[in-house]
C-alpha cells in the first residue's frame, strides 16, 4: 500500500495545480458573466451546465460502483459547495474587481488548515505551518495592504467572498472525510443535490422578470464555468483530497489569488501594485515550502 503513495501524491499535486489554473481564471470569467446577467441566475445556469457535464460520468460510475452513499454528508456538501457558495461568490463578484475577489480567496488555507487539524486530527508539520503563514502574509500584501482597487459596495462584496471561503472550507473538510467513498459519485451527487436546492431562487427570478438578453460572451463564460470550473475542477479537487492532506490542498489554493490577479490584469486591465507583486512571490514561496515531503 505504501509503495503506491508517492505516485498517488504526484498525481494529486498535478491535479490540484491544474485545478488552480482553472479556478484562477474563474474570477475574470465570472466578472464578465455577472455584468451581463444577475448573480443568482448565472449561478443557477452554471450549476445546471455542470450537472449535464457530470451526468454521463455518474451513470457509468453508478453501474460500476454499488457502495452505499452517505447522503447526509452529500447534502451538506451540496449546500456548502454549490447552493450557498455560488450565491455568495457570484453576488460578491458583482461588487468587487476580479483581482480583488481572487486575492481575498487567498484566505482559504487558514479556513481549511485549522479545522482540519482540530476536527480531522491532521498533523500540521512545522514546514506546513510556516508555508501557510508565509502565504497568508503574501495574501495580506496582495489583497489588502497593496490593493489599489476601489468599487461601489466593496465591503459587501468582500464580505460575501469571505463567506464563500468559509463555505468552501466546509465542503473541503466534508470531501476529505469521505476520501474512502468513490470520488466520481461524491462529486456528482453532491453537485446534483446542491444544484437542485439552488434552483428555486433563479426560477422565481425568471418568473418575475423573464429571461434577459444575454450576449454570446456571457453564455460562453457560463459554459466554461459549468464544464471546467465546476464539473472537471470539482472532480479533480476531490481526487487530490484522496492523496493529499486537506491543509496542503488548502495551501495550494493560494495559487488562486496570483493566477486570478494576473488574468484580471491581462484581460480586464485590473491594476497590480508593487506590493501585490511582492505578495505574489511570498504566496508562491509558501506553497513551495508547504509542499515539501516530510520525513
pLDDT tens figures, 42-90:
999 999 999 999 999 999 999 998 888 999 999 999 999 999 999 999 9
**From 46-50, 105-109, 125-129, 273-277, the region with the lowest mean pLDDT:** 105-109
Q: If you average pLDDT over residues 2-13, what whole number do you get?
A: 69
State pTM to two decimals. 0.82
Res 191 pLDDT > 50: yes
Res 106 pLDDT > 90: no
Is the separation of the CB atoms in 212 and 89 below 8 Å?
no
Residue reference for cell 453501474? 63
Residue reference for cell 453564455? 219
Spatial distance between the Cα atoms of 237 and 249, rounded to a whole number of angstroms? 8
Please report the pLDDT score of residue 217 as a whole number.
Answer: 95
Q: How many CB atoms lie within 10 A of CB 126?
A: 9
Buried b (16+ CB within 10 A) or exposed e, 247-278: bbbbbbbbbbbbbbbbbbbeeeebebeebbee
Res 208 pLDDT > 60: yes
**276 or 223, which is more confident?**
223
Amino acid at each position: 500500500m505504501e509503495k503506491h503513495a508517492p505516485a498517488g501524491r504526484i498525481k494529486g499535486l498535478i491535479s490540484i495545480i491544474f485545478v488552480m489554473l482553472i479556478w484562477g481564471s474563474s474570477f475574470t470569467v465570472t466578472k464578465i458573466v455577472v455584468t451581463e446577467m444577475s448573480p443568482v441566475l448565472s449561478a443557477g445556469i452554471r450549476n445546471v451546465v455542470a450537472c449535464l457535464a457530470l451526468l454521463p460520468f455518474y451513470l457509468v460510475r453508478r453501474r460500476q460502483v454499488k457502495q452505499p452513499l452517505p447522503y447526509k454528508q452529500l447534502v451538506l456538501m451540496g449546500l456548502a459547495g454549490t447552493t450557498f457558495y455560488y450565491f455568495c461568490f457570484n453576488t460578491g463578484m458583482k461588487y468587487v474587481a476580479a483581482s480583488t475577489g481572487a486575492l481575498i480567496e487567498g484566505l482559504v488555507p487558514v479556513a481549511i488548515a485549522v479545522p482540519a487539524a482540530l476536527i480531522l486530527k491532521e498533523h500540521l508539520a512545522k514546514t506546513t505551518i510556516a508555508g501557510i503563514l508565509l502565504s497568508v502574509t503574501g495574501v495580506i500584501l496582495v489583497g489588502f495592504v497593496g490593493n489599489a482597487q476601489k468599487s461601489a459596495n466593496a465591503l459587501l462584496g468582500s464580505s460575501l467572498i469571505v463567506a464563500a471561503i468559509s463555505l468552501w472550507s466546509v465542503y473541503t473538510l466534508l470531501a476529505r472525510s469521505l476520501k474512502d467513498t468513490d470520488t466520481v459519485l461524491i462529486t456528482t451527487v453532491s453537485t446534483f443535490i446542491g444544484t437542485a436546492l439552488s434552483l428555486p431562487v433563479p426560477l422565481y427570478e425568471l418568473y418575475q422578470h423573464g429571461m434577459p438578453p444575454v450576449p454570446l460572451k456571457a453564455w460562453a463564460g457560463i459554459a466554461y464555468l459549468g464544464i471546467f470550473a465546476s464539473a472537471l475542477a470539482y472532480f479533480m479537487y476531490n481526487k487530490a483530497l484522496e492523496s493529499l492532506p486537506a491543509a496542503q490542498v488548502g495551501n495550494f489554493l493560494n495559487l488562486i489569488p496570483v493566477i486570478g490577479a494576473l488574468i484580471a490584469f491581462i484581460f480586464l486591465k485590473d491594476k497590480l501594485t508593487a506590493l501585490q507583486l511582492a505578495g505574489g512571490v511570498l504566496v508562491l514561496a509558501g506553497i513551495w515550502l508547504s509542499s515539501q515531503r516530510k520525513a
